[in-house]
Amino acid sequence: MSRFRRPTEDHPLTRWLLTLIALGFVGLFLILPLVEVFKEALGEGLEAALTAIKEPESLAAIRLTLIAAAIAVPLNAVFGAAAAWAIAKFDFAGKSFLVTLIDLPFSVSPVVSGLIYVLVFGLQGWLGPWLAEHDIKIVFALPGIVLATIFVTFPFVARELIPLMTDQGRDEEEAAVSLGASGWATFRRVTLPNIKWGLLYGILLCNARAMGEFGAVSVVSGHIRGLTETMPLHIEALYNDYNYAAAFAVAALLALLALVTLALKSLLEWRFADELAASRTH
């Protein structure tokens, strides 16, 4: 019995080939390296890996990474939502310029953005002398690391929300206001429920990047072991010391954090699939 192909259907060979290429690519460039990281980390057993992670300098790096992400991500969630709100719901002069500006961290090399902070806040920088006089440390300290992280991860939430909020228009907000809702009540009861999935997705991406950021943080941190090294910086330092086992142990932990983030996202998408679909149809 012969089977007819639909006019829009590709030749089976094409499908197989494309699928194979896609899978091969993902396997070679995404999965294989990840597997390799975990293999190296656990090469000398789980015990050895845990010992490496429990080193005080490693623990300090983990703590610093989590603190920086814990400050940067909520701030960027608020900034991102505010920027997206302004861009999507209001018309004002310089709007397209603002949109371009939001993308700036994506287009500028992280190293350059790190250098900007050193130039502004560093000892030889514009504000350096004043800051030194008042004993405020920004560069080579936590504030600098947080600032660099915020800069690099700023676009994630805003980028996620702008198209979503633009698409949703202002109708529901206008309805809420005409029904007597205050600005805050409108945001909390109408806008936020409509954007919560996009917001959550943006926050997860932002978090993954905030924990993994290397370039910008590397420039402003000063690489002081146990003090200003985040996990990515610490991994590099261990690696350069030929301490491969420890480097891979911390790298595996960092990768694990990212994987947990992704798993969380998938879980939420699966758990709330109905609601997600409902909020997308009008």
Partner 1 sequence: MTLSIQKIRKRFGTFAALDDVSFDVPDGTFLALLGPSGSGKTTLLRILGGLEQADLGHVAFAGLDWLMLPARERRAGFVFQHYALFKHMTVAKNIAFGLDVRPARQRPSRAEIARRVDELLALVQLEGLGGRYPSQLSGGQRQRVALARALAIEPRMLLLDEPFGALDAKVRKELRVWLRGLHDRLGLTTVFVTHDQEEALALGDRVAVMNKGRIEQLAAPADLIARPATPFVSEFLEDVRPQARATNIVALR
Q: Could you list the residues that contact partner 1 (CB under 8 A)?
A: 171-172, 174-182, 185, 189-190, 193-194, 275, 278-279, 281-282
Of 179, 177, 125, 162, whose CA–CA distance to 147 is shortest? 125
Supply the minimum distance, in Å, between the C-beta of residue 172 and partner 1: 5
Helix (H) or strand (E) holding 125: none
Q: For partner 1, which is the closer residue by CB, 198 or 212?
A: 198
Question: What's CA 99's distance to the chain center, in Å?
Answer: 19
Q: For partner 1, which is the closer residue by CB, 36 or 174?
A: 174
Q: For partner 1, which is the closer residue by CB, 108 or 268?
A: 268
Question: What's CA 269's distance to the chain center, in Å?
Answer: 18
Q: For partner 1, which is the closer residue by CB, 194 or 243?
A: 194
Supply the minimum distance, in Å, between the C-beta of residue 42 and partner 1: 45
Supply the minimum distance, in Å, between the C-beta of residue 196 and partner 1: 9
Q: For partner 1, which is the closer residue by CB, 199 or 249?
A: 199
| Residues 155/105, Cβ–Cβ less than 8 Å | yes
Of 89, 146, 93, 84, whose CA–CA distance to 121 is shortest? 146
Supply the minimum distance, in Å, between the C-beta of residue 282 and partner 1: 7
Of 231, 182, 214, whose CA–CA distance to 67 is shortest? 231
Supply the minimum distance, in Å, between the C-beta of residue 273 and partner 1: 15
Q: How far is CA 105 from CA 63, 129, 149, 207, 235, in A?
A: 25, 27, 10, 15, 24
